[in-house]
Structure 1
């Protein structure tokens, strides 16, 4: 079987080493990409990230990597956004003002509600494990989430989440005190996960393998 070539976008705002190791564990050949050509030559592209939306987009634009990511996605090749990388796939974010994103999956990045459905305040950011729920029947099909069981838990650290314009672009959510929080989004060849697959054990590795089969 031919080894899959994965490029991880290096724009100064990601936990690159753990993502790289996770993809290598599932059999991919991985390289860090900080130039336009490095991104376009890859079979699969990963946009990681931690921190604030504004800073992440500034890092991408500084070296023209935003245009490279857009070109890669437009070519129909598989693109995965992780954590902040998922949020940057959206149209805009309300974190620390209004900031434009890549607009690959139309929607807004909004704060997780400060209180649960019944009123009491809960901890923000959300830090810990949560069970993935399909946003609608069949939402996992045709995505890297396909084949996951009902008790699939993933690890998250975040204060904001994506609210897609088209609800069917939200493939997974998790429940936080009665509030549905977006955990994964997808549109055609573009997939994003708010959680960290590289920190989510066997479930995360399953998702990365499935992404390489997309």
Structure 2
């Protein structure tokens, strides 16, 4: 096995905690570059798509640097992509915020919508309900992770049919509601929480993802 650090690009499209993600990925064992360069993003061992703020603004920024094309090209070649927070949300078909519907990347069916809980945003540490087959959460299934969001996917719509197996979907309960907090689907993975802000558990999750890049 190679001892070289896997190369990871954190996609800079004007949204996200770029430097904190860079530092966390570096500590977890990757050689990290923050860039909007199309070729670099396509060619790295792994691509991280962060995101904070409004769904519509994130999609505009992503398309401006052809990030949606980068994601599509990488996945067509089986090359890993990790979405974080709104970087996870934009992987779904659509987002609805304040009555405005925005088309997403469409890698998964589903709608990002406002949480139906008494207190929004959901901010702070929370559990995740991890399926037994998860690779991303190996060794950390009982840990808590840090969330800050008002919107999420509350209904999972992609199910196993024929030769296609069901993705590994992790859920989080919140104040009478629940939402998708992580997905593992071949080369495409994503978390609604911020692993870069989730202490040792988040660091272990990033290390698990980076380890799979080798």
TM normalised by structure 2 equals 0.89
Contact 1:46 1:81 in 2 (8 A): yes
Report whether the alignment pairs 1:164 with 2:145. no
- What is the CA–CA distance in structure 2 between the aligned matches of 1:185 and 1:111, rounded to whole Å? 19
- What is the CA–CA distance in structure 2 between the aligned matches of 1:78 and 1:46, rounded to whole Å? 9
Instruction: Give per-residue Cα distances to partners, 1:67-107, cap 9 Å, x unaligned.
Output: 11211122111110000000011111112311111111222
Report whether the alignment pairs 1:133 with 2:136. no
Q: Aligned residue for 2:145? A: 154
Deviation above 4 Å: which 4+ runs of structure 1? none
Where structure 2 has 5 or more consecutive residues not aligned to the other structure, the ranges are: 160-165
Contact 2:145 2:193 in 1 (8 A): yes
Shift of 1:201: 0.6
Report whether the alignment pairs 1:24 with 2:26. yes
The one of 192, 195, 200 aligned to 1:194 = 192
Q: Aligned residue for 1:13? A: 15
- What is the CA–CA distance in structure 1 between the aligned matches of 2:122 and 2:134, rounded to whole Å? 28
Shift of 1:142: 4.3
- How many residues align structurally? 202
Q: Aligned residue for 1:105? A: 108
Report whether the alignment pairs 1:143 with 2:145. no
- What is the CA–CA distance in structure 2 between the aligned matches of 1:123 and 1:113, rounded to whole Å? 9
| Aligned residues: CA RMSD | 1.5
- What is the CA–CA distance in structure 2 between the aligned matches of 1:21 and 1:50, rounded to whole Å? 17
